[in-house]
Amino acid sequence: MAGHSNGDDIRSRLMKVVWGYGTLIGLLILVVVFSLASDTFLRLNNIVNILRQISMLAIIATGLTFCMVTGDFDLGIGSIGSLAGVITVSLLVKGYPTIVGVLAGMATAAVFGLANAVLVTRAGISSFISTLAAGSVATGVTFLYTQGQAIYGRMPSAFAFIGRGYVGPIPAPVVLMILVVALGEFLLSRTRTGRYMRAIGGNMAAARLSGIAIEKYRGLGLVFSSLGAGAAGIILASRLGSGQPTAASGFFLDAISAAFLGQTVLRDGRPSVIGTFLGVLIIGVINNGLTLLGVSYYWQDISKGIIIVLAVALATLRPRLGSH
Amino acid sequence: MRVTPPLLEMQGICMEFPGVRALDNVDLVLHKGEIHAIVGENGAGKSTLIKVLAGAYRPTAGRIKIDGSEVRFTGPRHGLASGIGVVYQERALVPSLTAVDNILLGQEPARFGVLDQKAMKARAREALDMIGASVNMDVPVAELSAGDQQLVEIAKIALMGPKIMVLDEPTAALSDHEIESLFKLLRRFREQGMGILYISHHLNEIFELADTVTVLRNGKVAGHGPIQDFTTADVIRLMIDRDLSSQYVKEPVEVGPEVLRTEGLTCRRIGIYDVSIIARAGEIVGLGGLMGSGRSELASLLFGAVRPDSGRVYVDGREVTPKSVRQAIKAGIYLVPEKRREFGLVPVESILSNITLPFLRDFSPWGIVGTKAEHEPVEKLMRELRVKARKATDPVATLSGGNQQKVVVAKWLTTKSGRVFIFDEPTQGIDVGAKTEVYQMMLNLAKAGAAIILISSDLRELVAMSDRVYVMREGRVAGEVGGEHLDGEAVLSFAMGGV
């Protein structure tokens, strides 16, 4: 240590900042690059646009984060989101009020979350398998219910507001996103429930030997994950003004990517709501920026994949490089 | 006078790990046609010695000669190439493969990369014949009995034609009948001129089988020679370390009424049978026994982590028999588990959230954590226990081993309702200063009227800190020693069943 020159010291400190805030720095670099490459990128209405585009992704990814915190995973969120949207729309088209449709959609999602919770915590099935199966069942139910057709019809204006309305200058889905993310962050970092969930994810054996009801909180994580999917699916249905059988399926990969990117934010590499939100922002900025630059949709997928692998690889290297 | 050099000669072997000298100047000589027993307490250096021989560890000093010429091992395969075959305590078989596949694993005869099934079977048959064993070769080894699995493992080693065979606790899972066959086999190997190193806790086996014995203690050779020069009592005496330093903090505490009582506690799944013990207020009750004797398993029953098949647990005269950890905690039974990083702590979480984890309800008004209601009592407790940390919100993983252990204990000190405190290997891997502080904590709890159960593999610690010791063997209480009879010899005799 004593032999280190001043330059080395500055460099090591710089490295610490890069490793510590690498994901955030990556986001800033993306923003700078896109704002130089496109003059519309930084315009207010584009920023509002980005926020609206990411709002549903942020909600579904926040839910997913909760089940990842306890060490589980949810592969069914895309399908469950679609089903929730379809159920809601179908009821509204039949003339039920908005509140009934939305609650029915959310309840459907909750049923799938509870089924996962029971299968994982009582039957001891891995959450990978359980949620994969749940997703498959949800897809099947959706297609049986809709016969593969999109559901259209007259719907209450209150429902249209969820996805297309504005609160002042802010789109309603963005308001919902802010509420969900803020509530999620509070729940995870400042409440007893969140503390228990993090303890379970950090060391399940130690949590059990501290008397924590593991089953309850792992189950809760899986239910939150499904509820996030349901909410995102319903908002999407409102934006689209119809119930599409595969509408929310596309969220699945982006949500997982966002959560993984989010894990690279914290030093200890654990999931967090804020981290996931940062991951969502990165994905939103990439999608939006590449679209503005006229890059083909297929290239967007490829570049997203590469960026995610790079970010996670760097985060994995971090502890090893940072240790000396 | 021997003209030929010994088969194996280890001279001045030292093996150092950071902070520990596991082997200290160990000499060992093994001749052709000799069964040489190695005995010692837990942690005396037996396993390290085997690993050095197998080439898994490179000794920090010393020489190993085979047939008179020095060898230097560069890896586990090298040990085998030099003629040393090791049958490890943990089975090294692949459970889902057949005996044939296991015996030939890594040396399969193949043509153009395609396994030659016929040749494999013939080779395996040959190996099993060589050791005079007949086992079913067509089913996964997981379906074989423990004895047959052992034979498969020995056949695997025998096929490589070793000059020296090392067996580490080979009888641990075997029935009496299987042990008898194993001994026959080993005697045959001896007649064929093989040298055998036999590691076992069972003194009666050693006296039945071995020609010579080496006793290890604290990584040093405490005694060696022909087996007929020793009695069981001699061996036990040699195993025990008499260096009683003053690191133990023990004061007489007035013993009060009975706090914990178990009656016929039995759980076949984890191998605990008919355990009836009591512990009184102010008493430190030790649980002695060798590794695998069921001490930690008993702790997990008392703590509700495993449900008993039958039997009862009483606290302060009230039946509580916990069916879950939560019930045990509610009854005032608290566990400081072994291997703190694995079972005691959530390493990535803060010191604060680790300490309040079991009784978080008391520190989270309206379900909110991280408020003054949590910080103040925790910081006070950290000062009392002298947990050396920058701040309470640092990850617990950043603390030293001793301070981590204090945090594990602190988890149970945030309430005053503890009646029974189980300390499982509480001083493992922590420095002397921290050890003393942990002993002091135990003593303070005893003084406050709790009953303490101490599980320790460190015989000196167990004897110095306990008022009474229950010695466990094979999941049962093999004996109880206390008062003036409480010493290392007594505990070890019960533990090894050598009396």
Q: Using an 8 Å Cβ cutoff, are B45 and B52 in contact?
A: no
For residue B378 the two structure tokens come to 């925790």
**The residue type at B317:** G
Mean per-residue pLDDT, B361-386: 94
Cα–Cα distance, A234 to A231 (Å, whole number): 5
SS3 A95: coil
Spell out which residues of chain B touch residue A196, defining contact as CB-CB under 8 Å: 360
Spell out which residues of chain B touch residue A208, defining contact as CB-CB under 8 Å: 305, 325
Please tell me the pTM assigned to this model: 0.79
Supply the DSSP string of B309-326, one letter for each residue: SEEEEEETTEE---SSHH
Q: What is the largest CA-CA distance in chain A?
A: 78
- Name the residue in chain A with its Cα closest to that of B340: A206
**What confidence category does residue B160 fall into, taking pLDDT thresholds of 50, 70 and 90?**
confident
Determine whether the interchain pair B349/A199 forms a contact, defined as Cβ–Cβ distance below 8 Å.
yes
Determine whether the interchain pair A198/B349 forms a contact, defined as Cβ–Cβ distance below 8 Å.
yes
Cα–Cα distance, A238 to A165 (Å, whole number): 10
Phi-psi sector, B103: left (phi>0), alpha (psi -120 to 50), beta = alpha
Q: Is A284's Cβ below 8 Å from some Cβ in B?
A: no
Q: What are phi and psi of B20, to 5 degrees?
A: -130, 135
Where is pLDDT greater, at B295 or A21? B295
Does any domain span residue B203? yes
**What confidence category does residue B380 fall into, taking pLDDT thresholds of 50, 70 and 90?**
very high
ipTM: 0.85
Does one domain contain both B218 and B304?
no
In this predicted structure, the answer to whether residue B415 has a pLDDT above a threshold of 70 is yes
Beta bridge partners of B261: B278, B314
In this structure, the number of other CB atoms found within 10 A of the CB of residue B50 comes to: 23
For residue A33 the two structure tokens come to 């690059």
Q: Are strands B61-66 and B8-17 parallel, antiparallel or unpaired?
A: antiparallel
Domain edges within chain A: 23-316
Spell out which residues of chain A touch residue B361, defining contact as CB-CB under 8 Å: 192
Q: Using an 8 Å Cβ cutoff, are B396 and B407 in contact?
A: yes
Q: Which of B296, B302, B323, B325 to mutate to test the interface with A (most CBs of A within 10 A)?
A: B325
Chain B residues 108-127 within an 8 A CB cutoff of chain A: none
Cα–Cα distance, B421 to A315 (Å, whole number): 41
Mean per-residue pLDDT, B90-105: 83
For residue B268 the two structure tokens come to 């076949």
What pLDDT was estimated at residue A324?
33
What pLDDT was estimated at residue A121?
94
Does any domain span residue B247? no
Does any domain span residue B245? no
What pLDDT was estimated at residue B402?
86
In this structure, the number of other CB atoms found within 10 A of the CB of residue B456 comes to: 25
**What confidence category does residue B116 fall into, taking pLDDT thresholds of 50, 70 and 90?**
confident
Nearest by CB to B346, from A190, A191, A207: name it. A207
In this predicted structure, the answer to whether residue B334 has a pLDDT above a threshold of 90 is yes
In this predicted structure, the answer to whether residue B110 has a pLDDT above a threshold of 90 is no
Where is pLDDT greater, at B263 or B5? B263
Question: Helical H runs in B176-223?
Answer: 176-191, 203-209
Q: Which of A193, A210, A270 to mutate to test the interface with B (most CBs of B within 10 A)?
A: A210
Q: Which of A190, A209, A268 to mutate to test the interface with B (most CBs of B within 10 A)?
A: A209
Does one domain contain both B170 and B202?
yes
Beta bridge partners of B8: B30, B66
Determine whether the interchain pair A202/B346 forms a contact, defined as Cβ–Cβ distance below 8 Å.
yes
Final residue belonging to a domain, choices B186, B206, B239:
B239
What pLDDT was estimated at residue B351?
95
For residue B244 the two structure tokens come to 């009683």
Q: Is A193's Cβ below 8 Å from some Cβ in B?
A: yes
Task: Establish, for the pair of chains A and B, how many residue pairs have beta carbons separated by less than 8 Å.
Answer: 70
pLDDT (tens digit, 9 = 90+) per residue, B21-32? Answer: 889 999 999 999
Q: Using an 8 Å Cβ cutoff, are B471 and B307 in contact?
A: no
Q: Is A71's Cβ below 8 Å from some Cβ in B?
A: no
Task: Say if domain A23-316 classifies as CATH 1.10.3470.
Answer: yes
Q: Is A213's Cβ below 8 Å from some Cβ in B?
A: yes
Spell out which residues of chain A touch residue B306, defining contact as CB-CB under 8 Å: none
Cα–Cα distance, A138 to A246 (Å, whole number): 11
Does one domain contain both B361 and B423?
yes
pLDDT tens track, chain A, 324 positions: 344 445 556 776 666 666 667 778 888 888 998 999 888 888 888 999 999 999 999 999 999 999 999 999 999 999 999 999 999 999 999 999 999 999 999 999 999 999 999 999 999 999 999 999 999 999 999 999 999 899 988 889 999 999 999 999 899 999 999 999 999 999 999 999 999 999 999 999 999 999 999 999 999 999 999 999 999 999 999 999 999 998 888 888 889 889 888 887 766 778 899 999 999 999 999 889 988 888 888 888 888 888 778 877 776 666 544 333
For the ranges B81-90, B109-118, B330-339, B460-469, the lowest mean pLDDT is seen at B109-118
Determine whether the interchain pair B325/A206 forms a contact, defined as Cβ–Cβ distance below 8 Å.
no
Determine whether the interchain pair A203/B346 forms a contact, defined as Cβ–Cβ distance below 8 Å.
yes
For residue B235 the two structure tokens come to 């061996």
Question: Which range of residues forms the domain containing residue B262?
Answer: 258-496
pLDDT (tens digit, 9 = 90+) per residue, B196-244? Answer: 999 987 888 889 999 999 999 888 999 999 999 998 888 888 887 665 5
**The residue type at B44:** A
Which residue, B418, B438, B416, is CA-closest to B427?
Answer: B438
Beta bridge partners of B420: B333, B451
Does one domain contain both B177 and B215?
yes
Q: Is A186's Cβ below 8 Å from some Cβ in B?
A: no
Does one domain contain both B221 and B340?
no
Q: Using an 8 Å Cβ cutoff, are B51 and B57 in contact?
A: yes
How far A1 CA sits from the closest chain B CA (Å)? 20
What pLDDT was estimated at residue A15?
66
Beta bridge partners of B258: B280
Mean per-residue pLDDT, B162-169: 90
Does any domain span residue B219? yes
What pLDDT was estimated at residue B78?
66
The CATH number that applies at residue B62 is: 3.40.50.300
Q: Is B327's Cβ below 8 Å from some Cβ in A?
A: no
Cα–Cα distance, A294 to A311 (Å, whole number): 24
Where is pLDDT greater, at A13 or B298? B298
Q: Is B11's Cβ below 8 Å from some Cβ in A?
A: no
**What confidence category does residue B145 fall into, taking pLDDT thresholds of 50, 70 and 90?**
confident
Number of domains forming the structure of chain B: 2
pLDDT (tens digit, 9 = 90+) per residue, B421-465? Answer: 999 999 887 877 788 889 999 999 999 999 999 999 888 899 999
What pLDDT was estimated at residue A154?
87
Determine whether the interchain pair A194/B369 forms a contact, defined as Cβ–Cβ distance below 8 Å.
yes
Cα–Cα distance, A15 to A26 (Å, whole number): 14
Determine whether the interchain pair A270/B348 forms a contact, defined as Cβ–Cβ distance below 8 Å.
yes
Q: What are phi and psi of B419, to 5 degrees?
A: -110, -40
Does any domain span residue B94? yes
Determine whether the interchain pair B343/A194 forms a contact, defined as Cβ–Cβ distance below 8 Å.
no
